[in-house]
Amino acid sequence: MGYDEQGHCPMLKDGACSIYQHRPSTCRSYDCRIFPATGIQISDKDKVLIARQAERWEFNFSETEEIKEHKAVEKAASFLTNKSKLFPPDELPGNPTQLAILAIKVFHVFRDEDAERIDDGDMVKAILKEQGKFDTQADTD
């Protein structure tokens, strides 16, 4: 399940989020597909409905480039999750939503086929650099 035939999110009813009475500002910037896209799980008890909806999303990629980018996002999320102890204290977000957003910000680091051969310490540096570039660019937009 994903968007309906008209391209609408099934969680939106009459243009409003059907989960929250007042749609959070973050929902206006991204949608819950961020979780299945990254492979990051939501574990918060207060986000059960979001987790259920996120589990329903399926992605269909028609182009090689889309597949490459999705794999890079998944690799970024996996690295951030599984290698979190390699990062300086307080450098990584403490919640799944922000971690998923970070994976999307830095996925370019993992697009290169040689990324798997990069030393973990150098990968951490590359991720932090990419995050800085993304945040700087976002501040100027």
CB 110 within 8 A of CB 72: yes
For 35-78, how does the pLDDT look when each residue is reduced to its tens digit (9 = 90+)?
Answer: 888 999 887 776 777 787 778 778 888 888 888 999 999 999 99
Average pLDDT over residues 100-114: 91
Give the pLDDT confidence score for residue 58 in this predicted structure. 81
Give me the pLDDT at residue 49, please: 75
DSSP state of 94: S
pLDDT digits (tens, 9 = 90+) for 119-135: 999 999 999 999 999 98
Bridge partners (DSSP) listed for residue 13: 16
Give the integer Cα–Cα distance in Å for 45 and 80. 22
pLDDT of residue 3: 45
**H helices of 47-119, where?**
48-56, 64-82, 96-106
The pLDDT assigned to 4 comes to: 47
- Give the pLDDT of residue 84: 95
CA distance 53 to 2: 9
CB 34 within 8 A of CB 70: no
DSSP string, 115-128: GGGS-HHHHHHHHH
CA angle 57, 54, 18 (to 5 degrees): 110
> In which band, very low, low, confident or very high, does the pLDDT at 15 lie, cut at 50, 70 and 90?
low
Average pLDDT value over all residues in the chain:
81
Q: Taking Cα atoms as reference points, which of 94, 101, 92 lies closest to residue 128?
A: 92
Domain spans, the chain: 12-56, 64-140
Comparison of pLDDT for 13 and 70, the residue scoring more: 70
